Amino acid sequence: MKPLASGAVLASLVVGCLGCAKDPVTGKRELVLISESEEIAMGEKAAADVEASMGLYQDAELSAYVEELGQRLARASERPHLPWQFRIVDSPVVNAFALPGGPIYVTRGILAYIDNEAALAGVLGHEIGHVTARHHVEQMSKQQLAGLGLNLGTIFFPEVRPFGDVLGGGLGVLFLKFSRDAEREADRLGVRYASRQGYDAREMARFFAVLSRLSGPGRTVPSWASTHPDPADREATILALVSEQAGERRELVVREDVYKHRIDGLVFGENPRDGFLEGNRFLHPELKFQLDFPDGWHVQNTPAVVYAAAPDREASLQLTLARVASGTKPEAHAREFFRRNGFESGTGERLRVGPFSAYRAPFRVASRTGEIYGVAGFIADGDSMYEMVGMTRQGAIRRLTPVFHKAIESFDRVRDRRILEIQPVRIRLFQVPRTMRFGDVLDEAGVTSHRRDELSLLNDIGLEDDVPAGKWIKLLSRGSR
């Protein structure tokens, strides 16, 4: 018997429609290798990873508002039975994303630039469209058929547990790239779902124009543009879709004032309460600690981990926080840490780091690409245990060991009241007292010059444009809620 060629095997699968299912949106048969129950389970796992690693924005009223709007749109979709959920990620990045099976996320960064409820409905509708059309499972099925796996992104040394689990686990679905046809379909569905609820879907097109201005040089990534391929004619395409689907409806909902009052007080940009850099010093006002990273290293702060990478990306430092029983010795925690993660540790030493007791030890661990060497430090602060792990390749460990030691030894208590009391920048509303040029509105509100271009973009109003009396505009000021 002759072996069947791999191409023939694939052809036989397609002809036999093994794994075929009906597209919930189009009704056509499609080849998918993931069942709906598997899709839902995958989304639940990814949602848990998103919320643990990225963090949710803590505003109960705003969160309930986004959830209610999202649920209303989803119930009118082709898959109302899915376990839909709508959450706000505590990130300044301007983005929104969907996970398989129902979880939808918007960042507080995108909420700041949205100007009304109709635009928010369009954004949520677009993400709902990715789920109803099963774009995630289509893309994963194609990759599985091609034998590619998921081809996920990596960061530093992701093969070293526990730090590799974030991207290697549920969050891998965030790195799937949808085709332009899938994005167009999600746009079409977003217009459909928003229009069904009576919203003026033209506001979705207007918001895409704001997004295109936000995607210029120097803007923070990942952004909407990095996860959503953006055809040059997207705004015009959406406007055409609106004309097709709006019908004879006369009264279209925008709800600008309602939306703006919902986001009054929203944190804008990086929240210094969650940690920030001054030079190479990382300061955390809430946890009251500071440490110095090596000069020139790139630092990324997330709710779960603070990463620092060497310019040549051949070494990294990673700081995590573990909750322990008060009085736990750093060396005892180190033994459990090494055992749990499969690290082979060398001879360690006890030391004092600022006012804290600490322990550090060298280690090595096998990875898919060879052995990794490093130094781990453990610093006890009551029921908090800070775990600082420096990693590199064998050939560089002798040179980098003093660098890792210096970073561990720099850990200290923050005592500066300026740091301890720092507050984030928040959105504050200002009602225009009379019709005037936007630049004059900013003069009357006491806005300094360095914020003018930013506020123009935030409000989608040119500095020379007239603003009608009574309109609410978004300003920025530093302070508590």
Structure tokens at 289: 């600690």
DSSP E strands in 246-369: the ranges are 267-268, 276-278, 281-284, 289-292, 298-301, 306-309, 315-323, 344-345, 349-353, 356-367
**Radius of gyration over alpha carbons of the chain, in Å?**
25
Residue 22: count other Cβ atoms within 10 Å of its Cβ.
11
Domain presence at residue 84: yes
**pLDDT value at residue 8:** 40
Q: Are 211 and 265 in contact (CB under 8 A)?
A: no
Q: Is 313 exposed, middle or buried (0-12, 13-18, 19+ CB in 10 A)?
A: exposed
The residue among 113, 26, 102, 36 whose CA lies nearest residue 71 is: 102
Q: Does some domain include residue 61?
A: yes
Decide: pTM greater than 0.85: no
Using an 8 Å Cβ cutoff, are 112 and 266 in contact? Answer: yes
- Active-site residue, from 44, 78, 117, 127: 127
Helix (H, G, I), strand (E, B) or coil at 239: helix
pLDDT tens-digit profile, the chain (481 residues) = 433 343 443 333 333 344 556 667 665 556 566 788 999 999 999 999 889 888 999 999 999 999 999 999 999 999 999 999 999 999 998 889 999 999 999 999 999 999 999 999 999 999 999 999 988 877 776 655 544 443 333 223 333 333 333 333 445 555 456 777 888 888 899 999 999 999 998 998 888 888 877 765 544 433 455 555 554 467 777 777 777 765 555 678 999 999 999 999 999 999 999 999 999 999 999 999 999 999 999 999 988 899 999 998 899 999 999 999 999 999 999 999 999 999 999 999 999 999 999 999 999 998 877 899 999 999 999 999 999 999 999 999 999 999 999 999 999 999 999 999 999 999 999 999 999 999 999 999 988 777 899 999 999 999 999 999 999 999 999 988 7
Q: Quick check: is 141 in a domain? A: yes
Q: What CATH number does the domain containing 330 carry?
A: 3.40.1000.10
Residues 209 and 302 in one domain: no
Q: How far is CA 79 from CA 84, 102, 130, 193, 358, in A?
A: 10, 9, 11, 12, 53
Residue 90 per-residue DSSP state: S
Burial of residue 143 (number of CB atoms within 10 Å: 0-12, 13-18, 19+): middle
User: Residue 433 carries which DSSP code?
Assistant: S
The answer to whether 19 and 31 have CB atoms below 8 angstroms apart is yes
For residues 131 and 47, state if they share a domain.
Answer: yes
**102 and 53 inside one domain:** yes
> Is residue 435 domain-resident?
yes
**Which residue, among 277, 382, 370, 367, has the nearest Cα to 325 in the 3D structure?**
382
Would 14 be classed as within a structural domain?
Answer: no
Q: Is the dihedral of CA 289, 294, 295, 296 positive or negative?
A: negative
pLDDT of the residue at 231: 42
Check residue 316 and give left, alpha or beta (phi > 0: left; psi -120 to 50: alpha): beta
- pLDDT at residue 424, as a whole number: 97
Residue 2 lies in a domain: no
Mark whether 183 and 324 lie in a shared domain: no
Within this chain, do residues 214 and 328 fall inside the same structural domain, yes or no? Answer: no
Q: Are strands 20-22 and 29-31 parallel, antiparallel or unpaired?
A: antiparallel
pLDDT score for 302: 87
Query: Do 198 and 84 have their domain in common?
Result: yes
Let me know whether 278 and 394 are in one domain.
yes
* CA–CA distance, 7 with 52 (Å, rounded to integer): 42
pLDDT at 80: 96
Length, in residues, of the chain = 481
Measured distance between the N- and C-terminal CA atoms of the chain, rounded to whole angstroms: 75
Task: Say if residue 414 is in the same domain as residue 443.
Answer: no
Which of 213, 235, 262 lies at the terminal end of a domain, its last residue?
Answer: 262
Residues 39, 161, single domain; the answer is: yes
What's residue 208's pLDDT?
82
Q: Is residue 371 annotated as part of the catalytic site, yes or no?
A: no
**CA nearest 249: which of 203, 201, 206?**
201
Please classify residue 147 by burial: count the beta carbons closer than 10 Å to its beta carbon, then call 0-12 exposed, 13-18 middle and 19+ buried.
exposed
In terms of domains, do 288 and 398 share one? yes
436: containing domain: 426-478
| Per-residue pLDDT, 481 | 76
pLDDT at position 170 is: 47
pLDDT at residue number 169:
42
Last residue of a domain, one of 403, 420, 437: 420
Instruction: Based on the fold, state whether residues 238 and 318 are members of the same structural domain.
Output: no
11 occurs within a structural domain: no
Query: What is the number of domains present in the chain?
Result: 3
The residues facing 152 across adjacent strands are none
Tokens of 47: 């949602």
Q: What are 364's two structure tokens?
A: 């090595």
4 within some domain: no
Domain boundary pick from 230, 262, 294: 262
- Same domain, residue pair 77 and 92: yes
